[in-house]
């Protein structure tokens, strides 16, 4: 087995457990809240602290992977995350649980940035289908995780996730990481002007904030509106991840056949249609299931395809990638917390309304910024 194939398999396996870990919070919100004797109003802090850790791990990881042995960093992140997941069901103090969420987020943020950067460094300009393939494994993990927790419960589910991470961490002991982009390679592409890079960061913030909010609050949305039982609400979360899985599988082919910009705009349009289905039929469980599937399918290719589009048209260093992922972490930190407050004050329907407005803004921003980038108006040679 050649080196690049071993690298790819290791990154894909890491992304499977990453997706499973991210998807675990929504179905276990009530379990964690019961363990710590807290109420719905403060559960948004679980998302907030985990995403704050994700942001920190992303920023630190962007610098470390450019300078250090990437395989060693990924192995340590997996081990640390496994240990923290293992003790999570034993924590009954709210402040300690928030600290554990921060640590899990930091490990997952570093893992996310590291896998994406190193896969791009391994495949260079042909990375788009491989990125979508890796995100497909995250979707498989996202489907697996709610099913796991629906049958095992909170404690055994977290212990199973921790156990799954151990052999993958060991695998990185035998993987030589790819080399970062050389300066000569980066000079072949122009630097993105700060203001336009900032807008891409805002777009990513909406992507990730929307994704985490939808997956994290979907269970509570269905349950509180009497659109499902506890078991069927967990199954609905898995169904949403099935949509993501199908979307990322389709994106492996679509990124080879269609322009990346057109694909992103089409996916954003599909997201708005899916949210519209749910908002126009708010008391229909059938439309909720259809909308959740469509939302997941259209959301799936957005982040990897946008990153591949940006990396193809501008030089993206490890530090810039870290900032990009940190922007996503900021969205994952602020959006679920804000939406949780709005749902508590004005009802669960505000989840879909806020997401609809946000992704409408993302559509307009990406259409504008990507067009300027393609025409060379958003880059400079210096």
- Output the pLDDT for position 139: 79
Q: What percent of the chain has pLDDT over 90?
A: 37
Residues 6+ positions from 331 with CB-CB distance below 8 Å: 51, 204, 205, 206, 207, 208, 209, 210, 212
- Output the pLDDT for position 186: 46
Task: Say how many C-beta atoms besides its own lie within 10 A of residue 123's C-beta.
Answer: 17
CA distances from 79 to 33, 52, 60 (A): 26, 20, 17
Asked if residues 209 and 334 have their Cβ atoms less than 8 Å apart, the reply is yes
Residue ranges for the chain with pLDDT beneath 50: 183-187, 382
CATH number at residue 277: 1.20.1250.20
- Output the pLDDT for position 185: 46
C-alpha 93: how far from its chain's center? 27
Residues 6+ positions from 95 with CB-CB distance below 8 Å: none
pLDDT in tens, 113-155: 899 889 988 887 777 788 888 988 887 888 788 889 888 888 9
- Among 123, 115, 107, CA closest to 175: 115
- Output the pLDDT for position 183: 42
Residues 6+ positions from 265 with CB-CB distance below 8 Å: 363, 366, 367
- Among 375, 362, 363, 336, CA closest to 48: 336
Angle at 104 between CA 85 and CA 209, to 5 degrees: 125
* Residue tagged 């276990």 (tokens): 28
Task: Quickly list DSSP for 17-56.
Answer: HHHHHHHHHHHHHHHHHHHTT--HHHHHHHHHHHHHHHHH
Asked if residues 214 and 237 have their Cβ atoms less than 8 Å apart, the reply is no
Give the chain's domain count: 1
Range of the domain at 344: 3-380
Three-state SS at 379: strand
- Output the pLDDT for position 91: 92
């Amino acid at each position: 087995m050649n080196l690049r194939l071993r690298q790819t398999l290791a990154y894909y396996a890491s992304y499977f457990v990453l997706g499973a870990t991210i998807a675990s919070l929504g179905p276990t919100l009530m379990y964690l809240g019961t363990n710590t004797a807290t109420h719905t109003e403060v559960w948004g802090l679980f998302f907030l602290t985990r995403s704050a850790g994700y942001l920190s791990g992303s920023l630190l990881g962007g610098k470390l992977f450019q300078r250090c042995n990437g395989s060693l960093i990924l192995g340590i992140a997996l081990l640390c995350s496994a240990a923290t997941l293992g003790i999570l069901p034993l924590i009954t103090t709210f402040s300690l649980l928030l600290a554990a969420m921060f640590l899990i987020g930091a490990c997952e943020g570093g893992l996310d940035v590291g896998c994406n950067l190193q896969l791009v460094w391994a495949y260079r300009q042909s990375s788009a289908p491989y990125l979508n393939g890796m995100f497909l494994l995250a979707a498989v993990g996202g489907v697996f995780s709610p099913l796991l927790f629906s049958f095992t419960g909170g404690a055994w589910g977290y212990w199973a996730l921790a156990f799954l991470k151990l052999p993958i961490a060991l695998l990185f002991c035998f993987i030589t990481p790819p080399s970062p982009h050389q300066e000569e390679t980066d000079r072949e592409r122009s630097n993105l002007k700060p203001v336009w890079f900032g807008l891409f960061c805002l777009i990513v913030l909406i992507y990730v904030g929307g994704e985490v909010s939808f997956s994290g609050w979907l269970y509570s949305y269905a349950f509180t509106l009497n659109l499902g039982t506890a078991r069927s609400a967990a199954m609905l979360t898995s169904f949403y991840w099935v949509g993501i899985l199908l979307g990322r599988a389709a994106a492996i082919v679509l990124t080879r056949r269609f322009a990346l910009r057109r694909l992103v705009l089409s996916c954003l349009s599909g997201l708005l249609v899916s949210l519209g289905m749910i908002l126009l039929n708010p008391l229909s469980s059938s439309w909720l299931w259809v909308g959740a599937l469509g939302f997941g399918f259209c959301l799936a290719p957005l982040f990897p395809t946008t990153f591949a589009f940006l990396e193809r048209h501008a030089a993206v260093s490890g530090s810039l990638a870290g900032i990009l992922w940190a922007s996503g972490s900021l969205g994952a930190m602020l959006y679920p917390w804000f939406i949780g407050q709005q749902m508590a004050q004005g009802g669960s329907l505000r989840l879909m309304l806020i997401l609809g407005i946000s992704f409408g803004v993302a559509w307009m921003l990406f259409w504008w910024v990507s067009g300027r980038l393609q025409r060379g108006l958003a880059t400079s040679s210096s």
